[in-house]
Amino acid sequence: MTDIESRLEELRESGLHRRLRLVEGAQGPRVLLDGRPVLLLCSNDYLGLAGHPRVREAAAAAALEWGAGAGASRLISGNMTPHRRLEQRLAAFKGYESALLFGSGYLANVGTIAALAGRGSVVFSDELNHASIVDGCRLARAETFVYRHGDAEHLDWGLRRAGGRGALIVSDGVFSMDGDTAPLGDLARLAREHGCRLMVDEAHATGALGPGGRGSVAAAGLGGEVDVVVGTLGKALGAYGAYACASAELREYLLNTARSFVFSTALPPPAVAAALASLELLEAEPARVERLRANAAALREGLRAQGLDAGGGASQIVPLELGEAGPTMALCERLLERGVFAQGIRPPTVPPGSSRIRFSAMATHEETELREAARLAGEAARELGLVPTVPLAA
């Protein structure tokens, strides 16, 4: 057995082996999965914009006008009008002076954290932050203090202990696998008290939280106090790429020092144009955000009525924590048999012992189909002996 074979075998034996499933057609509330029709409950295309006709047309038109690729990094020859236009619109939407596009949310986090913290300084990171933040901290070569999830007291303790070496506090706004929200008011206060910068990742908050979907920072009324707001164009905005919103000075600094910006090709014009069209739709039709919230609430209520613990959050991300990987994947398969696709999430995406089904609602689902999916989840979970056998409410 080669070392690769034995490592793959290890993954299979521990229930952590993953495989790709094939979705046919565009993302939508219902898709064909490996050839079978299913209700899609694990897409981050929360507002249903990835397949929106105006967004598709914008991408197609940009491909015809600007070409398929940008050809180089922005600093060499890849900077085009669509990039500049989208940055201006994103900054205005988020209430910031400026924005800088990155190739993806992963690249935005890795580049921004490493630019803002270096050897000898300390980054403070929530224990449930996204993997791209974890990797950003590693790449920064700063010391990383991982504070307990959402625990401002623990963070405060860490900041005191760092004694002035603190450079950056970084947190997801809405946590990607739990759907709960960071205590942003506390983070902003602590950043101020300790002279640290604050960075918030709005990957799951943009398009979902705050007035008109402006995100968790706007929801908390903290626009002026968060130094960098990072977000992706690949989730609610239905395209691909990412951005960092900041002051003009900080943007200029990132543009010069964030290695994932400097050394990577600019976003392809069709992705940029698609994101811009999505942003315009979001601004013109804020009712999409309301529908997403109502759908998330319906899904949560439906699961609770089945006696299932849907976590403490209130966002469109609705976790059903089951513990071990085995039962989690068994429930995922039972749900698939019933025509519901919600992915089982296992380590290292979540901490060991906290495997879960991560449901995510979309604005384009019907409330009735979400309630039915919740009922099916209850039925399948009881079949597997995973919850009380009697629903708490009908």
The catalytic residues are 176, 204, 235
**Beta strand segments in the chain, E:** 23-24, 30-33, 36-40, 98-102, 122-126, 143-147, 166-172, 197-201, 228-232, 242-246, 317-323, 340-341, 344-345, 355-360
Closest CA to 74 of 246, 256, 299: 256
Q: Supply the minimum distance, in Å, between the C-beta of residue 326 and ligand PLP.
A: 25
Q: Which residue is nearest to ligand PLP (CB)?
A: 105
Q: How far is CA 296 from the centre of its chain?
A: 16
Q: Supply the minimum distance, in Å, between the C-beta of residue 200 and ligand PLP.
A: 10
**Nearest to ligand PLP of 229, 363 (CB atom):** 229
CA angle (184 as vertex; 179, 186 as ends), nearest 5:
130
Yes or no: say if 187 and 169 are a contact pair by the CB < 8 Å rule: yes
**Nearest to ligand PLP of 114, 376 (CB atom):** 114
Yes or no: say if 143 and 168 are a contact pair by the CB < 8 Å rule: no
**Nearest to ligand PLP of 48, 302 (CB atom):** 48
SS3 173: coil
Yes or no: say if 322 and 339 are a contact pair by the CB < 8 Å rule: no
**Nearest to ligand PLP of 206, 306 (CB atom):** 206
Q: Supply the minimum distance, in Å, between the C-beta of residue 190 and ligand PLP.
A: 20
**Nearest to ligand PLP of 144, 176 (CB atom):** 176
Residues that bind ligand PLP (CB under 6 A): 104-106, 109, 130, 132, 172, 176, 201, 203-204, 232, 234, 242
Q: Supply the minimum distance, in Å, between the C-beta of residue 242 and ligand PLP.
A: 5
Name the DSSP letter for residue 309: -
Q: Supply the minimum distance, in Å, between the C-beta of residue 369 and ligand PLP.
A: 25
